[in-house]
Structure 1
Amino acid sequence: MLEELTIKNFAIIDELTISFEKGLTVLTGETGAGKSIIIDAIGLLLGGRGSADFVRYGEKRAEIEGLFIVEKNHQVLHKALELGIEVEEEMLVLRRDLTQNGKSICRINGKLVTLGILREIGQTLVDIFGQHEHQALMQTEEHLLMVDQYAQKQLSKTKSEYEGLYEQAAVLRKRIKQLTENEQEMAQKIDLYQYQLQEIENAKLTPKEDELLEEERYLLTNSEKLFNLLQNSYQNLYGEAKGLDFLSNAVSELEEAATIDKDLKNIHEQITNSFYLLEEATFSLRDRVERVDFDPERLSHIESRLNEIQQLKRKYGTTVEEILEYASKIEEELETFLHKDDQVETFKNQLDAVWLDLKVEAKAITDIRKQAAKQLISFIHDQLKLLHMEKAQFEIRIEDRVGLQEHQRYHRNGKDTIEFFISTNTGEPLKQLVKVASGGEISRIMLAIKTIFSSHQGLTSVIFDEVDTGVSGRVAQAIAEKIHEVSIGSQVLCISHLPQVAAMADTHLYITKDESESRVRTQVKTLSNEEKTNEIARMISGVEVTELTKKHAQELRQLAKKHKNFI
């Protein structure tokens, strides 16, 4: 569960720390107070898309940090271990900073991670269900993804194998198309590659040649300076009254001194050895001076060769190695083009083999989906009855794509099209959900689906962001009871404008905003029992709280308590 959330310099929030409890926590307050901003902050903490616009005006960065407590066998612990994130006492601290320039800095338990890793971890902790998901339900392409999400455990391995085969088939089809279409373009490529390959081969490049030539050019360019430095060094060491002469005298003096004081023997040996080493180095220095030579012709040749290599770099790569790699690549391409008939035949045989395996995996995916769809339909019917849609008939239709060539009937997710159908009244035929469901019905269907999914995903928290839009009366009460049902044994955070949902809350947070020093600030208060009643009364009346609305609010709370005790 989400134990604690800290938000700093985010939108209209300057600094806010909220502690959360298990069960159902309802967030209410006037429009614009900051309820959805808190949910937006949680969404960013879980890896949502960030923007510099979220940073509070006048501040350098926004900071969001959340403490999550998970069960010992929660899937996120295995995922964290795979990613090298240390977890102690089943606690995860997620942190995300957004800077003024839009950069994100993400951490999990103090370790810097990418936004992708933060999202991967976050998706296993919290599911945010908002009004935008109603739109997802109204898009038929999302229906397949929902079924796959429900059957994720059974589908995972098979779908992964299918996707690999699908990629192989796509690559092979592309290669065959390249080799069988546009003869003129291929002829032009052959001419171009032959010219480029000949140009590179004529240059007779060797690895690291440019680096070695640049080193030699530098040496030749500075040969006069090098000669003078070496000559001066040698002259300072060798000759009468020079370095070695003085050192030789010191050796002689110490040799005689050691006959007087035996303790000087080791010092004499050390200096004697140093003398011989220095003398040998001096003779090597003399030989090196004699080898220094300025060769204008060699320097001119190097300059010409480097210029030739530079011309090739402009065309084929930034280094000699890249040029040689490019040559190897186009040589393979050229070989393929020149023997295209053989290559096409090879690719077709490979594609046929991949296609056979792909069909097997696609059928396996379809079978798993059909089995999962049967279970999902049954569960959704059960949930819809509890949401006062007793007469509704729900169906998931899984069909092959038709009217296309065989390879076009297969897509990245298999060969199926999936669409939800529904009949909301007795005697009416099943019709496409996207065409017949009202806003209130969509809310209930989505809540039914989320109720089922939350029990399959092992999430620590579920967030409902104003999912009760467009409902009232007994339907509102049913939604309130369903949301509370999801919260049993887990954690649900819910933004709501329905008094029925607020009455069902285990914890009620009231969001307000005030203005001081010409700035707006969001504040959060945990309501007492009396304050809960007053807030529910405000939600009922909309304007003025009266004794009658208070009485109604108390009745709602008593009904909610009775429902909880019954469960």
Structure 2
Amino acid sequence: MLTELSIRDFAIIDEISITFKEGLTVLTGETGAGKSIIIDAIQLLSGGRGSVEFVRHGTKKAEIEGLFTVQPDHPIYKVGQNYGVDIDEDGMVVLERTITHQGKSICRVNGKLVTLGIMKEFGHSLIDIHSQHETQSLMDPDRHVELLDVFAGEELRSVLDEYVSVYDKYRTMKKRYKELSENEQEMAQRLDLLEFQLRELQGAEMQPLEDEELSEERKKLMNFEKVYQGIHDAYYSLYGEQRGMDWLSHAMTSLESTSDVDDNLAKLSEEMTNTYYLMEEMTFKLSNQMAELEFDPERLNQIESRLNELNRLKKKYGATVDDMLQYASRIEEEIDEIRNKDSHLSKMESEIAELSEDALLEAQGMREIRVKAADQLAEFIHVELRDLYLEKAAFAVDLQTKPGKQGDPELDGTPVQLLPNGIDLVKFLITTNPGEPLKELHKVASGGEMSRIMLALKRIFSRHQGITSVIFDEVDTGVSGRVAQAIAEKIYGISEGSQVLCISHLPQVAAMADTHVRIEKRVEDERTSTAAKELSMDEKADEISRMITGAELTATTVEHARELLTMADKHKN
């Protein structure tokens, strides 16, 4: 859930900090007070497009910071792993967005700088924003297959993973086949280039880890004097008259003379004797090391020349010798493919056909699960629509395939195109008027109907998507009466599974709020600013009363407001 939101120098907001709670939080206030500005700020945290227009006049930058808390199994942990962002065991995620007056946008997740695209991935895992004009994935036909798969659950996910694995191999093989078969001239030029590169790499006669071994040897040769002096000084500190070993020998002899008097001294004497012989072995090693040291200026020149040659090749073929050897191996295989193109193409055709049949088999398995899930989803949506007084509405999930071409796998004798998530094109269809044909969801015209349809869909999908915070920005526009009450109940129903933040002008929705925040516009020192205040129960009744009348409070409207609050409590219970 979104726990805290801090906004500084954003539009008409100078500085505001709002603490959010679980359940349903409703934001109300007069038009222009800044309610939608707060939603705009949250939208920027989810990767929305920034603009210098958001920076408060007279300031250098707008800053937005949101603190989210998530459960240990939340999908955002996987997103964090993908981009190297640490999310601790407490499940706290901080999204930060800064927009400068020069138009620069700076994004951070848990203090780490990220691109806007990465921030969008984090934001979409945490926040789902819906407005009268922007309904994101629910209204996007290209996303309907993903939503159906989310609804289908784990049964489909395991089959989809298998399909994606086969499909990736199929797509890679087809791409390589196309490259190898289409352009003779390009292939000839490619062959000349690869043969030149292979001759150059093979002519260098590189050995595995050669660059690392040469660098280590060069380091020793370049520091020969320092190394020799260190070993020399260490050796002669130990060996020689009145040196370390002499004194250790004297200490050992002195302790041996007391070992038959005191058992404790006998143990010390034994330890001293062992130490002496260890140090004696050390002097032998130092002596051998000195004897082996030999400075060869010509060898250093040879190493420098060889490393220069390797570094020249690294600029073209890889960061290390091992990388270059691997590259040589790859291009050798590619040269063989091009030289023996016909036999390779024939082999690849067989592999492509086999992979396409494997992928089609997995896709058919997914299709069966999707058909079953589509029927179940339609039943659930019809129930939700009836609750929202769209009894005559009809909803269906349309599953089609994209026609393929010759060489594509065949389904019931007809070629079909393999897509990244199967063979299915999924569209949500609806009609709200009896006798009218089903139409694509995004083509439904009425704003009030669209609000109810979107809420019905959201009520179903919010249980499956794992979104932390669902935000509704005036989705209840254009409705009233019993429909308004039904919408209020649906929004509250969504808040039972996810935190919901809702901007609303409906008193029925405000009455359902677990937390009611009033957004107010103030003018101080000839500057406009926005403030947020969490309302007490009495203040909540007064605010709902104002929403009913749009004017001064009266005893009747306050009583009506309290009655709405009582009805809301009964519904919650």
Category of TM-score, reference length = shorter chain: 0.7 to 0.9
Q: Which residue of 2 aligns with 1:523?
A: 532
Distance 1:332 1:214 in 2: 31
Q: Which residue of 2 aligns with 1:545?
A: 552
Choose which of 5, 8, 16 in structure 2 pairs with 1:7.
5
Mapping 1:552-563, distance limit 5 Å? 552=557, 554-555=559-560, 557-558=562-563, 561-562=566-567
Q: Which residue of 2 aligns with 1:438?
A: 446
Report the AA paired with residue 391 of structure 1: K
The answer (yes or no) to whether the contact 1:51–1:98 under 8 Å persists in 2 is: no
Q: Which moved more, 1:196-205 or 1:487-496?
A: 487-496
The answer (yes or no) to whether the contact 2:68–2:94 under 8 Å persists in 1 is: no
The answer (yes or no) to whether the contact 1:50–1:104 under 8 Å persists in 2 is: no
Call closer, same or farther: CA 1:484–1:65 in 2, change over 3 Å. closer
Q: Deviations over 1:374-393 (max 9, x none)?
A: 22223323332332333333
Give the 3-state SS of the residue equivalent to 2:429 in structure 1.
Answer: strand
Query: Which ranges of structure 2 fall in alignment gaps of 5 or more residues?
Result: 99-104, 112-117, 410-415
Mapping 1:227-376, distance limit 5 Å? 294-376=295-377
Identity between Structure 1 and Structure 2 (%): 42
Choose which of 475, 481, 487 in structure 1 pairs with 2:483.
475
Q: Which residue of 2 aligns with 1:111?
A: none
Deviation of 1:438 (Å): 2.0
Deviation of 1:496 (Å): 0.4
Call closer, same or farther: CA 1:325–1:78 in 2, change over 3 Å. closer
Mapping 1:39-78, distance limit 5 Å? 63-66=65-68, 76=74
Q: Which residue of 1 aligns with 2:540?
A: 532
The answer (yes or no) to whether the contact 1:34–1:512 under 8 Å persists in 2 is: yes
Query: Which ranges of structure 1 fall in alignment gaps of 5 or more residues?
Result: 108-113
Distance 2:502 2:370 in 1: 31
Call closer, same or farther: CA 1:467–1:154 in 2, change over 3 Å. farther
Choose which of 412, 423, 431 in structure 1 pairs with 2:431.
423
Distance 2:497 2:389 in 1: 24
Deviation of 1:541 (Å): 4.2
Report the AA paired with residue 6 of structure 1: E
Deviation of 1:117 (Å): 9.6
Report the AA paired with residue 511 of structure 1: I
The alignment's TM-score, normalised by the length of structure 2, stands at 0.75
Call closer, same or farther: CA 1:7–1:250 in 2, change over 3 Å. closer
Q: Which residue of 1 aligns with 2:386?
A: 385
Mapping 1:15-34, distance limit 5 Å? 16-18=17-19, 20=21, 22=23, 24-34=24-34
Distance 1:489 1:214 in 2: 61
Mapping 1:129-144, distance limit 5 Å? 129-131=130-132, 133-134=134-135, 136-144=137-145
Q: Which moved more, 1:425-434 or 1:346-355?
A: 425-434
Q: Which residue of 2 aligns with 1:191?
A: 192
Mapping 1:162-177, distance limit 5 Å? 162-177=163-178
Distance 1:257 1:412 in 2: 81
Q: Deviations over 1:27-55 (max 9, x none)?
A: 2113454434555676788x666979899
Deviation of 1:358 (Å): 1.7
Q: Which moved more, 1:371-380 or 1:505-514?
A: 505-514
Call closer, same or farther: CA 1:19–1:219 in 2, change over 3 Å. closer
Distance 1:200 1:152 in 2: 52
Give the 3-state SS of the residue equivalent to 1:409 in structure 2.
Answer: coil
Q: Which residue of 2 aligns with 1:110?
A: none
Report the AA paired with residue 106 of structure 2: G
Deviation of 1:457 (Å): 5.5
Give the 3-state SS of the residue equivalent to 2:435 in structure 1.
Answer: coil
Q: Which moved more, 1:174-183 or 1:281-290?
A: 281-290
Call closer, same or farther: CA 1:519–1:293 in 2, change over 3 Å. farther
Distance 1:253 1:355 in 2: 83
Q: Which residue of 2 aligns with 1:502?
A: 510
The answer (yes or no) to whether the contact 1:13–1:521 under 8 Å persists in 2 is: yes
Q: In angstroms, what is the RMSD of aligned CA positions?
A: 4.8
Distance 1:460 1:527 in 2: 26
Deviation of 1:318 (Å): 2.5
Q: Deviations over 1:25-83 (max 9, x none)?
A: 422113454434555676788x6669798999679975433457x8xxx9659989x99
The answer (yes or no) to whether the contact 1:64–1:97 under 8 Å persists in 2 is: yes
Q: Deviations over 1:261-299 (max 9, x none)?
A: 999999999999999988887787777667665544434
The answer (yes or no) to whether the contact 2:132–2:447 under 8 Å persists in 1 is: no
The answer (yes or no) to whether the contact 1:504–1:561 under 8 Å persists in 2 is: no
Distance 1:383 1:153 in 2: 24
Call closer, same or farther: CA 1:553–1:430 in 2, change over 3 Å. farther
Q: Which residue of 1 aligns with 2:202?
A: 201
Report the AA paired with residue 181 of structure 2: T
Deviation of 1:320 (Å): 1.8
Query: Larger radius of gyration, structure 1 or 2?
Result: 1
Q: Which residue of 1 aligns with 2:110?
A: 106
Report the AA paired with residue 434 of structure 1: H
Deviation of 1:173 (Å): 0.8
Mapping 1:382-421, distance limit 5 Å? 382-402=383-403, 404=405, 406=408, 409-421=417-429
Deviation of 1:138 (Å): 4.4
Q: Which residue of 2 aligns with 1:95?
A: 93
Deviation of 1:118 (Å): 6.1
The alignment's TM-score, normalised by the length of structure 1, stands at 0.75
Deviation of 1:337 (Å): 2.4
Deviation of 1:453 (Å): 2.6
Call closer, same or farther: CA 1:404–1:382 in 2, change over 3 Å. farther
Report the AA paired with residue 106 of structure 1: N
Deviation of 1:468 (Å): 0.9
Give the 3-state SS of the residue equivalent to 1:102 in structure 2.
Answer: strand
Deviation of 1:436 (Å): 4.4
Report the AA paired with residue 7 of structure 1: L
Mapping 1:78-93, distance limit 5 Å? 93=91
Q: Deviations over 1:460-502 (max 9, x none)?
A: 7654332112334553343234334545687644220123322
Q: Deviations over 1:391-425 (max 9, x none)?
A: 33333322222375546622112222233333333
